[in-house]
Amino acid sequence: MAFCSKCGNQLADGTKFCGACGQTLTATATPVASADPTKPIASLSGMNGSIDLFEDRAELTGRMGGIFTRSKNTRTYFYPDISSVEFQAPTLMRYGYLRFVTAGTIRGASGGGVFSYNQIMNDVDTLALMYEKKRLDEYQKFHEFLMHKIREAKQPRGGTTVVNQASAADELLKYKQLLDSSVITQEEFDAKKRQLMG
């Protein structure tokens, strides 16, 4: 499966243009689907650790909290809980990063923008990316796929029917109370009941 880098629309393999936004596609992200939920569907390694993507979550594993930290830790981010993912591609002059932002995330001392080397390496929500020209496309594709998984997880799923049924039941209850109070007739109640349940 592949996704448009501009709008995130799912694309058929080998597609040259996005049917949703018209974006010309030079390369597409094609992570390998995994039938085993314990195995990642995509992974990216960086200077201070790695990120593994699963169907329902992302896991950042590494020396979070500083480069001199000896033990490796893993932080789990479930897609619906992620507010955004900051992505700064590395250049010859600065390190890049992928940073998870969730509710309650505290910004670095810079208040945004470009992080310093120490901020990147010491931030527990950040994977540091070193400039390697051959990996720039990999970083971009990984970020696009991660954003797609987040958008997908935040899509409403099948709740509309339940909400409509609850609303119809609430309406019917109101009309029953009106019937019991002799405000409406039995015929009016039956007609409304057929309309709501029909």
Helix (H, G, I), strand (E, B) or coil at 99: strand
- 32-153: CATH class: mainly beta
Give pTM, 2 decimals.
0.58
Beta bridge partners of 2: 11
Non-local (6+) Cβ contacts of 94 within 8 A are: 88, 114
More reliable by pLDDT, 134 or 59: 59
Indicate the pLDDT class of residue 149, thresholds 50, 70 and 90. very high
DSSP 104: T
Q: Is residue 187's pLDDT more than 70?
A: yes
Kindly provide the b/e burial profile for residues 75-101, where b requires at least 16 CB atoms within 10 angstroms of the residue's own CB: bebebeebeebebbebeeeebbbbbbe
The CATH 2.30.29.30 domain(s) of the chain lie at 32-153
pLDDT value at residue 57: 93
User: Tell me: the pLDDT tens digits for 38-63?
Assistant: 889 999 988 888 899 999 999 988 87
Residue 110 clears pLDDT 50, i.e. is over it: no
